[in-house]
Structure 1
Amino acid sequence: MIQWRRGVVDEVRSSWAGAIEYAVRLPSGDRVRALGYVDAVGALAPGTAVLLNTTALERGLGTGGLALVVAAPDALPEPVPDVAAVPGHLVKARYTPSQTMVLGVDEQDSAHHAVLADADDLGGLPVVVADLHSALPAIVAGVREVDPGLRVAYVMTDGGALPLDFSRTVAGLRDAGWLAASVTVGQAYGGDLEAVNVHTGLLAARHVVGADLVVVSQGPGNLGTGTRWGFSGTSAGEAVNAAATLRGRPVCSLRVSGADPRERHRGVSHHSLTAYGRVALVRADVPVPLLRGDLAGLGADVLAQATELCAASEGRLTLREVGCEGLDAALRATPVPLRTMGRGYDDDRAGFLGAAVAGRFAARMLGAGG
């Protein structure tokens, strides 16, 4: 079901990339936070009447807990004069009322079609795979601590938010020059490049973007049901498989926490154990943070869990112990806030260090030349 509400834009609260957050007043007099995508509804002025989807907001969800502007019926964007002449025919968010058509990097109308038509090899490209979108800036911080000159591309899968413009993180990293490009795959859309699936997204990152290293994760908003298999992060294991199939070098970023109130996510999350231990079926490296000082007890638990994960894989997963020295400063220097599940860096340092060592390890792979 969808909870529909009418409202009127009171003010613009903030904006980033292709998204604008408004304060919208409902007929009841209440004001709500509402997000509008410029490509979908344009930039709206105060006083504009809008139609809202308030389902997630009224359910009190976290990442998705905003009203969404569906339409501004009296202020529609100008129609495209000849939509048939617009290049591209990839439809994303397919068969929903908000489906959109984009130009795929690998389709016939693309200038890059010839490059990708027979592309089949990543040539040893390191591919860091993470469960949560919040790991992205920490991974890139780890990469840049080794070599800030590396070209990093981000491939966003469709397990979370579908519009990339929802992500303040990607917008901030792009503005700071920390990401060379973004690629949205599957039903996700809005990246610098659009691709049909993870495989063509990775190939585009390598052969079109010229990336030295790629990070893959779902968009903001992780779905989980508290069951062994019911979570959107299983796509991390599938991305590991895709990277290896294309002769890349997959690196598994562990989801680690010392502060999550849920036991199943303490130490190494059961999401990582399932995605990398059961869904991934290929050889991959598993960097493990060597946590010291006040995190030493947690570090011992994480190392034990990771050791068991790799041992049970019968040689597929290789444990790589990675020191955390210098990463604290690198993480505190990120151009975007570090937050995961509502917790900041100082609330759960282990989680961000676990992601950063994956970036550090992948960047060192390039430095080692092998």
Structure 2
Amino acid sequence: MRRRADRPGALPRVPHPAIRAGRDRGLGRARGTADRAALHSHRRGERRPRLPGPRAPLPERRQRHRAKPPARRARDRRRTRDDARRDARDRRSQHVTRLALRRGTVVAIDRDGAATALTVDVDGERRPAISYTDLTGLVEVGDEVIVNVAARDLGLGSGGFDVVHANLTRGLDGAGLPDAHVMKLNYTSLQHAVQPVEEQAGELTLPVGRPVAVLGLHGQLPCVAWAAAQRRPGLRIGYVQTAGGALPGALSRTIGELRDRGLLAGHVSAGPAYGGEEDAITTAGALHAGLTALGWDAAIAGPGPGILGSATELGHGGLAALDTAHAALALGCTTVIVPRMSSGDPRPRHRGLSHHTSTVLELLLRPALVAVPPGEAVEVPDSVQVRQGQADLDGYAGSGLPGRTMGRSIAEDDLFFRAALAGGDVLAAEA
């Protein structure tokens, strides 16, 4: 083998200082090596230091992977195979419980009804709560309850109260509705059986041929019902509660007021919504049963109070109007889209014609009508027909029905109310 210095491109070696000193004295290479050994003479006889801690285990011969049992060890199949999971991560510490449940005590009954308003003491804090008596039973002061605190803790405007999940004092002996067999809120801890209104309807005969007003917000409901009654007194109009907002039918006090005034002929909760006077498995089934078996002349369909939203085009509860409109169109009903419009909403996407409504109009698979108040122009797809409806804003303001939307009064957002009133006028005209 050639010396390193003789190889092409090799760098010259730099000898140890002891070797250089030996060469300078003419001692040659061997003597320089001895001198180098002499430099470390003080370490002779010392043992090599060991690293602290236990010695690293060496794998057994032919052991291919730590997750497999050692070689030549017979597995006892009567025992848990823990050796194959010795390096598995413990996932229990990563689990998140999504239900925010707390134990509390009822300290006051603020309002009786199907949605009883309570005050509950939770860890020393008095908190407003709602108890749905059809689900969790009657409640009294002193009852120990489990409440869901998520909405109030998040500061939701339309859901700033706790909800009773279970009454530990007097709510554990419920038996359910006799002879009911169809589940609402199925496969959740709140599942309960109902008798679907679809069973009351006869054979499906198309077209149904009666008008349906489709809402994007629950706040439009009193305007539409009132305006329709002004245009056609005595018209039997029913309400179908859909997904997109609150699911409990008992939550809305507006529905009860409209029923008491004779402005609504019935209330059916459809799909995931529950707790109406009747329950339906689907929105199409609710509309069909209402417009046939229940004797409605027209229907209003839309979500319960509150609305889901994510500031995106498709991620909001108002898009439930698209499914509702398609159900009505498939049944052969004249379908009137009641637009969400605003003159006072601070968010640009909701000023004028809201993006909630414009998205629904763009995605419609069949032609429909959209109602607008006098003096308002909206851009809609060619398949959508604009129909102008009257809007008696002063008359509605004096009716005593709800006159606020998103915290704004009629004076602060008159376009919202005028658009909804126009929807009711067009609905009655088509009946």
**TM-score interval, normalised by the smaller of the two chains:** 0.7 to 0.9
The answer to whether residue 184 in structure 2 is matched with residue 96 in structure 1 is no
The answer to whether residue 413 in structure 2 is matched with residue 321 in structure 1 is no
Contact 2:372 2:422 in 1 (8 A): yes
Shift of 1:330: 2.9
Shift of 1:9: 1.0
Q: Deviations over 1:271-302 (max 9, x none)?
A: 00001222x211111111115xxxxxxx4xxx
From the superposition, tell whether residues 181 and 227 of structure 1 become closer, same or farther in structure 2 (CA, over 3 Å).
same
Q: Deviations over 1:164-219 (max 9, x none)?
A: 01111112211222111011111111112211111111101111221111001011
Partner of 1:56: 151
Contact 2:342 2:353 in 1 (8 A): yes
Contact 1:122 1:203 in 2 (8 A): no
1:56 counterpart letter in structure 2:
A
Contact 2:336 2:371 in 1 (8 A): yes
TM-score, with length taken from structure 2: 0.74
The answer to whether residue 410 in structure 2 is matched with residue 345 in structure 1 is yes
Partner of 2:218: 133
Shift of 1:337: 1.8
After the TM superposition, which residues 20-59 of structure 1 pair with which residues of structure 2 at under 5 Å, given as runs?
A: 20-28=116-124, 30-59=125-154
Contact 1:285 1:319 in 2 (8 A): yes
Contact 1:122 1:202 in 2 (8 A): no
Shift of 1:331: 4.3
1:321 counterpart letter in structure 2:
Q
State which of 155, 161, 168 in structure 2 corresponds to 1:66: 161
Secondary structure of the residue aligned to 2:421 is helix
Determine which structure has more spread, i.e. the larger CA radius of gyration.
2
2:105 counterpart letter in structure 1:
V
Secondary structure of the residue aligned to 1:164 is coil
Whole-angstrom CA distance in 1 between matches of 2:244 and 2:130: 20
Unmatched segments (≥5 aa) in structure 1: 292-298
Contact 1:122 1:206 in 2 (8 A): no
1:34 counterpart letter in structure 2:
A
The answer to whether residue 425 in structure 2 is matched with residue 360 in structure 1 is yes
Partner of 1:295: none
Secondary structure of the residue aligned to 2:339 is coil
How many percent of aligned residue pairs carry the same amino acid? 35
Partner of 1:288: 372
Contact 1:145 1:330 in 2 (8 A): no
Whole-angstrom CA distance in 2 between matches of 1:120 and 1:346: 45
After the TM superposition, which residues 1-370 of structure 1 pair with which residues of structure 2 at under 5 Å, given as runs?
A: 1-16=98-113, 18-28=114-124, 30-76=125-171, 78-80=173-175, 86-107=178-199, 112=200, 115-116=201-202, 118-121=203-206, 123-278=208-363, 280-291=364-375, 299=376, 303=377, 306=378, 308-309=379-380, 313-314=381-382, 316-324=383-391, 326-334=392-400, 336-366=401-431
Whole-angstrom CA distance in 1 between matches of 2:174 and 2:387: 54
More strand by share: 1
Greater relative CO, 1 or 2 (CA 8 Å, sep 6+): 1
2:372 counterpart letter in structure 1:
V
Unmatched segments (≥5 aa) in structure 2: 1-97
TM-score, with length taken from structure 1: 0.86
Q: Deviations over 1:144-172 (max 9, x none)?
A: 11122100100111222111011111122
Whole-angstrom CA distance in 1 between matches of 2:171 and 2:152: 24
Contact 2:143 2:168 in 1 (8 A): no
Q: Deviations over 1:311-361 (max 9, x none)?
A: xx23x211112343x342134304x42332222323212101101101101
